[in-house]
Amino acid sequence: MANIPELTPTEFCERWPESRRDDVTLLDVREPAEWQAAHVADALHIPMRTVPGRLDELDPAHTWVVMCHGGVRSLRVAEFLAASGYARVFNLTGGIDAWSLEIDSSVPRY
């Protein structure tokens, strides 16, 4: 199993301020109902169960920061991506819940 680097939402925003977000994509792997309840505006939504069938949509040379509600599902997807040859993959610790607490309180908590 790959050793996936982790970032808090604050670390993500420090490393990639909004002006540099072309270099990275937040990949939200939560279920559609969770996405509808709350999401980060510029994140790409691909539910966890559909990621294997949609790898052709994800550039392996790009930087991906995977997120979910709390960081567990996203870690699994990040490990899968790394095992599939994606070299620049991070897990967002605390997920959307931590994003709401640390970055944007307008993102609803659930």
Active site residue 13: no
Residue whose pair of structure tokens reads 């790898």 in the numeric block = 55
Q: What is the distance, to the nearest Å, from the Cα of residue 13 to the centroid of all Cα atoms in its chain?
A: 13
Of 46, 68, 81, 98, catalytic: 68
**CA 103/CA 14 separation, integer angstroms:** 11
The catalytic site residues sit at 68
